[in-house]
Structure 1
Amino acid sequence: MEELPSVLWSYRTTPRSATQETPFSLTYGSEAVVPAELITPNPRMAAYAAEVNEEERRVDLDLAEEKRDMAAAKVAIYKNILTGYYNARVKHLRFSPGDLVLRKNSVSRAEPQEKLNPKWEGPYRVIESSQNGYCKLAYRDGSRVPRTWHAENLKLYYP
């Protein structure tokens, strides 16, 4: 419990990888002085002047909204980079008409979900498939399954 304030302080004063800014600077408009900087001499504390500091603080507060907007733009770019990184490893399933597939029982809920019940049901035949991964299915007798199904809820059936 005694360590919580110092842990929160370090979290708030550590730059985030997405924005390269600290949460403290995005909230208050300027960087925080770490307690260790008050004890040990450093160039930042040696250059401190009270008269100049007040003017620089006003400038920082005026630019705080712009700093937040830049951080939001950096977060959006960072998310796009991460999305591309993870999507590069995704294998998209494409089914063609005539393929035999099994359907997830948890999605279709054709049978009650009990421990020993099968996880997949079928086989079904793919009648149509679209570019975005949706398929129309048919039963073995040729009649259509009422809904369309996404490829993530289907898997190929090998008899």
Structure 2
Amino acid sequence: MTTGETPFCFIYGVDAVLPVEVSLIFPRVEVFDLSLALESLHFHNDLLEETMEEPRLRMIAQQEKMAKYFNKKVKAKQLKVDNLILRDSVTSQPTVSGKFKPTWEGPYRVSKVVSAGTYELTHLDGQPIKNA
């Protein structure tokens, strides 16, 4: 394109102009104003952030709604000393994997409550287990 020519399709979102329309002078080509098109482009770019913000806010609201629904059904249970529990086998044997590996191991006895959700465990015979 040489200097002085006006581009008819200079960015995505603008209709492409066919060579036939240029040669036969259609009203769309004849009325085209580059400064108006650039002004419109800048206006749409300014609104782009607001346009993208709305779906993001809807997504966050939906995630919060789903979390609230899920957490409504969760019941926290505090364990006490001498309670019997099962432990997830992934924590004690992270290298063992496979389709037929056991999911849980135990039972174990809670010997000490370190903090909420953290406990020291012992075997049923009283032998302590490493890694609370």
TM range (shorter): 0.5 to 0.7
2:104 and 2:59 mapped to 1: Cα distance?
40
**1:82 maps to amino acid:** M
When normalised by structure 1's length, the TM-score is 0.46
When normalised by structure 2's length, the TM-score is 0.53
Relative contact order: is structure 1 or structure 2 higher (C-alpha 8 Å, sep ≥ 6)?
A: 1
1:104 and 1:119 mapped to 2: Cα distance?
6
Structure 2 residue runs of 5 or longer lacking an equivalent are 1-11, 14-31
Identity of aligned residues (%): 29
User: Cα offset for 1:87?
Assistant: 1.6
**Matching residue of 1:100:** 84
Structure with greater Cα Rg: 2
1:134 to 114, 118, 123: 118
2:43 and 2:103 mapped to 1: Cα distance?
62
User: What per-residue deviation string (whole Å, max 9, x for no partner) do you get for residues 64-95 of structure 1?
Assistant: 11222343233222211111111212233331
Structure 1 residue runs of 5 or longer lacking an equivalent are 1-27, 31-49, 149-159
**Matching residue of 1:86:** 70
Cα RMSD for the two superposed structures: 3.6
1:74 and 1:116 mapped to 2: Cα distance?
42
